[in-house]
A and B are shown apart, each in its own frame.
Chain A
């Protein structure tokens, strides 16, 4: 039976790119130190920062919240969790339940944004009325809400994107020749004063398998089911599978990609639009009204950006973040 390369206890995982075995405890240490290195190397957080962790209920954001809670004192930031209840039937009910149990275990304050109550429609209802794919509506709504909370709370928004998400997203950008999308999931995306919150991705170098194992060995409450709208035949998913076949043959391939990707982020063409304040809500727009205000105007007869910002302020006040 394989033994932990550090303490000799029975191993639960082998990390091929290090040629090391780990027991549960030392595996968790391994992941935690990867995150610590990412936070330092890319200067993602510092003393006095406010970090708002976006938690979906899935494994990656559970890992994100756990590691951020563990490293909070060392780096000196304040931490809270933000969950968006998308209203996608049983999936959203279970996800929210997992998040509530996670924050209770970790002792992190939680803000919930209930999409259906706040916007009048759930994500699937919006998609149906707009005749748009659910995932595109969902992405747009989530980005807007994270940004509104980040700007109002003068906080950095942390997401649980892992190494596999980042590499597959970049490769998809190359395959579709959407070159300006390639550097979007860098370790950090700087904010724009009053318009856009800074985004940080602490799990940048954590492999998806490492994230799953970390959640398992730490016993982190999470919901390991796919969103009913996700498709295993999607280009991004197929690219993930392909990358991992290569990783299996060439351990460390993903790590090599990631450190170069972060370095080369400004070598790719930039998007052609200039950021400007939305004419309705004042947050980031590519000109005129932002897509969230335009979409909610179509659905409800009035843009809802301002009311989301108000909701955010009320919730953040409860945290003492206003």
Chain B
């Protein structure tokens, strides 16, 4: 189970991941694109191809404006 904080809105959601799932899989499970979102673990950005385990992450939407 990963606890995800979505920024800039600040909403918190929980996502069930399989063994070996990557950052991109996490974003897919949330229905988000890896081109428009950055995943931070402990404040550091993580490439979308990295595996991700249980714990807490921050997902930042990088798109602005409209």
Interface residues, chain A, with chain B CB atoms under 8 Å away = 1-2, 11-14, 21, 58-60, 164-165, 207-209, 211-213, 216-217, 224-227, 230-238, 240-241, 244-245, 247-248
Contact partners of B33 in chain A: CB under 8 A: 241, 244-245, 248
Interchain CA distance A216-B38 in the complex, whole Å: 11
Chain A's nearest CB lies how many Å from the CB of B48?
6
In the assembled complex, 28 residue pairs joining A and B whose CB atoms fall closer than 8 Å, in A order, are A2-B47, A14-B48, A21-B47, A58-B64, A59-B62, A60-B64, A165-B65, A207-B35, A208-B64, A209-B36, A209-B38, A209-B62, A212-B62, A213-B62, A216-B45, A225-B8, A226-B65, A230-B64, A230-B66, A234-B66, A240-B63, A240-B66, A241-B33, A244-B35, A244-B36, A245-B33, A248-B33, A248-B34
Instruction: Check: B18 CB closer than 8 A to any chain A CB.
Output: no
A217 vs B47: C-alpha distance when bound (angstroms):
14
What residues on A are CB-neighbors of B45 within 8 Å? 12-13, 213, 216-217
Bound: A224/B63 CA distance, A:
10
What is the bound-complex CA distance between A224 and B9, given in angstroms? 10
Contacts of A14 in B (CB 8 A): 47-49
B1 CB-CB contact with A under 8 Å? no
Interface size class of B (residues with CB under 8 A): 20 to 34
The answer for the CA separation of A244 and B36 in the assembled complex, in Å, is 7
Total contacts A to B, CB within 8 angstroms?
78
Which residues of chain B have a CB within 8 Å of any CB of chain A? 7-8, 33-36, 38, 44-50, 60, 62-66
Please provide the 9 A-B residue pairs with the shortest distance between their CB atoms, ordered closest to farther. A237-B66, A234-B66, A212-B62, A14-B47, A244-B35, A12-B45, A244-B36, A236-B66, A248-B35
> Contacts A224-B8, A241-B36 hold; do A208 and B47 have CB atoms under 8 A apart?
no
Closest to B40 in A: A216
- Most chain B beta-carbon neighbours within 10 Å: one of A217, A231, A244: A244
A60 vs B64: C-alpha distance when bound (angstroms): 10
Contacts of B60 in A (CB 8 A): 212, 224
A11 to B23, CA, bound (A): 14
B63 touches A241 (CB 8 A): yes
Q: In the complex, A211 Cα to B38 Cα: how many Å?
A: 11
- For the complex, give the distance between the alpha carbons of A165 and B65 in Å: 9
Asked if A247 and B35 sit within 8 Å, CB to CB, the answer is: yes
B50 touches A1 (CB 8 A): yes
* A60 and chain B: residue at smallest CB distance: B64
Which residues in B have their C-beta under 8 angstroms from that of A208?
36, 62-64
Of B7, B36, B47, the contact of A13 (CB 8 Å cutoff): B47
